[in-house]
Amino acid sequence: MAVATAMAPDAGGQAPVSRGFSGRPRDRSVGDRLPPGQYLVHDFPVLSAGPTPYVPLDRWDFSVLAVDGSPLARWRWDEFRALPEETVTCDVHCVTKWSKLDMQWRGVSLDVILEGLDVDTAHVMAFADGGYTTNLPVGDATDGQAWIATGYDGHDLEAEHGGPARLLVPHLYFWKSAKWIRGLQLLERDKPGFWEGLGYNNYGDPWREQRYWGD
Partner 1 sequence: MARTTVLGRLSWRVATVSSRAPETSRAVTLVLDVPDWPGHRPGQHVDVRLTAEDGYQAERSYSIASAPGDPALALTVERLDDGEVSPWLTTVAAPGDVFELRGPVGGYFVWDGSEADPVLLVGGGSGVVPLMAMARHRARQAIPTRMRLLYSARSEQDLLYRSELDGLAAGDDGFDVVYALTRATPPGWTGYDRRVDGAMLADVSFPERHTSPAFVCGPTPFVEAVANSLVLLGHPPGRVKTERFGPTGGGS
Partner 2 sequence: MTSASALDGNALGGPLGELFTFDITSAVATCAGCGRRSPGAAWVVFVDAPGIVARCAQCERVQLRLVNDGTGRTWVDLSGIETLEIAAPRGGA
Site for partner 2 in 95-134 (CB under 8 A): 95-96, 130-131
Q: Which is nearer to partner 2, 24 or 74 (CB)?
A: 24
- Min dist CB 22 to partner 1, Å, is 5
Rule CB under 8 A: is residue 3 a binding residue for partner 2?
A: yes
- Given the rule CB under 8 A, which residues bind partner 1? 10, 15-24, 26
Q: How far is the CB of 45 from partner 1 (least distance, A)?
A: 11
Residue 6's binding partner out of partner 1, partner 2, none, with CB under 5 to 8 Å set by partner kind: partner 2
Q: How far is the CB of 37 from partner 1 (least distance, A)?
A: 10
Q: What does the alpha-carbon distance between residue 88 and residue 148 come to, in Å, rounded to a whole number?
A: 11
* Secondary structure (3-state) at 29: coil
Q: How near is the Cβ of 30 to partner 1 at its closest, in Å?
A: 16
Question: 155: buried, middle or exposed (CB in 10 Å: 19+, 13-18, 0-12)?
Answer: exposed
What is the distance between the alpha carbons of residues 62 and 74, in angstroms, rounded to a whole number?
6
Total residues contacting partner 2 by CB under 8 A comes to 29
Alpha-carbon span 156 to 162, nearest angstrom: 10
Dihedral sign from CA coordinates of 214, 194, 48, 60: negative
